[in-house]
Amino acid sequence: MATHMAEPAAGETEATTENLTLEDQVWLLRAMLLMRGLEERAMTLYRQGKVPGSFYDGFGQEAVSAGAAFAMAPEDRLCILHRDLAAHIIRGVTPERILAQYMGRAAGITAGRDGNVHFGDRNLGCVGMVSMLPDMMLIATGMAMAFKLRGERRCALTWFGDGSTSRGDFHEAMNWAGVQKLPVVFVLENNQYAYSTPLDKQFAVDPVERAAAYGFAGVTVDGNDVEAMFEATRAARERAIGGGGPTLIEAVTMRMHGHAAHDDMKYVPKEQVEEWRKRDPVDRQEKRLGDLGVDIEALRADVKAEIDAAAETALSSPMPDPAGAVDGVFCEGEAEPLGDGVARWSGFSQKAVA
């Protein structure tokens, strides 16, 4: 059964360039390259002892966050999980802040209060995750509830994994969003394993079927095709802001690294990893754009230079002042809501509007 569910349901949501300019397509690749390059750099820093705690990455899953986040407007709101770094990049978080965050530096997004990918830049419309992952589905549902109450054409989106589908908050959020027909997009990042637990120990039905059980649409998407992810999310957002209610997008992908840096993944058959390596999302987008005449080597060099500069800045930035460890538990001033993020898709950008 696990094998069956691991196969992307071909044909349900095909990649299409109908809504993407070449510049958009390049941006999608750039976000994925930045995610991969930053995570590789952070892993090196981890091995050098410069990243405290453990280290989690989304190697092989870059298309899921890049494609979905790209379809979101500045005024939309996102709950971003730990294998979704590309979403932060698309919303406008700079590489040096990301590396500073991994290293627990003052310049990190949480200024050292939380680690690794546990962050969300509130000024960019993002709520940072907690470790109880499907909790964030209710946060996204609540944001969507507010949008609907106020009659705003906005949408909320959250990612979560296959393991999350077993928790109560997944079901409470799916039910709530279905009952109230809310403008929310749920992206189920099915990467085959929750830590070491395979899909057949997690659910007895294909999880995308759960959408129908809660009264809304569910689609399965090739999670390793960034343009397919974009298109599925763009359609889900259209449905959401048009009053058509939530969508569950099951993005089928593979966690190519261990749960975290310490995990040797010995529970994953080698053939499974090899099979998925052939579907690498970065390779696929590079091939697609190379065929369109994009200079991939130049783009790679550009991204690498950006990461090198970011690492230098982050490494020279100070650790947080221990005297501040007990500050900021409570908000002392006015409660300020989330701000708008950067939305790079030409469909939202100023250039396209003009």
Partner 1 sequence: MATLTYLQAISAGLRDELRADERVLVMGEDIGVFGGAFKVTDGFIDEFGPDRVMDTPLAESGIIGTAIGAAVVGMRPVCEMQFADFISCGFDQLVNVAGKMHYRQGLAVPITVRLPSGGGFSGGPFHSQNPEAWFMHSPGIKVVAPSTAEDAKGLLHAAVRDPNPVCFMEHKHLYRRIKGDVPEGIFETPMKARVARPGTDLVVIAYGAMVHTALEATEDIDGASIEVLDLRSLVPLDEEAILESVARCSKVIVVDEANQMCAAGAQVAALIAEKGFEDLDGPVVRVATPDVPIPFSPPLEQAVLPSVERVKEACRDLLAY
Burial tier of 94 (Cβ tally within 10 Å: 0-12, 13-18, 19+) = middle
For residues 22-61, which are near partner 1 according to CB under 8 A? none
Catalytic residue status for 255: yes
The residue within the footprint of partner 1, chosen from 298, 323, 331, 353 (CB under 8 A), is 331
The Cα angle at residue 83 between residues 266 and 137, in degrees rounded to 5: 115
The residue within the footprint of partner 1, chosen from 65, 141, 202, 285 (CB under 8 A), is 141
Smallest gap from residue 166 Cβ to partner 1 (A): 14
Residue appearing with tokens 């975290």: 260
Q: Does 143 bind partner 1 (CB under 8 A)?
A: yes
Q: Does 144 bind partner 1 (CB under 8 A)?
A: yes
Catalytic residue status for 56: no
Q: Does 94 bind partner 1 (CB under 8 A)?
A: no
Q: How far is CA 12 from the centre of its chain?
A: 21
For residues 145-164, which are near partner 1 according to CB under 8 A? 145-147, 149, 156
Q: Does 122 bind partner 1 (CB under 8 A)?
A: yes
- The size of the interface with partner 1 (CB under 8 A), counted in residues, is 46
Pairing of strands 184-190, 126-128: unpaired
Pairing of strands 156-161, 184-190: parallel
Catalytic residue status for 118: no
Decide if 184 contacts 144 (C-beta within 8 A): yes
Q: What is the phi/psi pair of residue 97, to 5°? A: -70, -35
The residue within the footprint of partner 1, chosen from 37, 120, 161, 223 (CB under 8 A), is 120
DSSP 82: T
Q: Does 172 bind partner 1 (CB under 8 A)?
A: yes
Decide if 63 contacts 253 (C-beta within 8 A): yes
Residues known to be catalytic: 255, 259, 267
Binding site for partner 1 (CB under 8 A): 77, 109-110, 113-114, 118-120, 122, 127-128, 130-132, 135, 137-147, 149, 156, 168-169, 172-173, 175-176, 179, 328-338
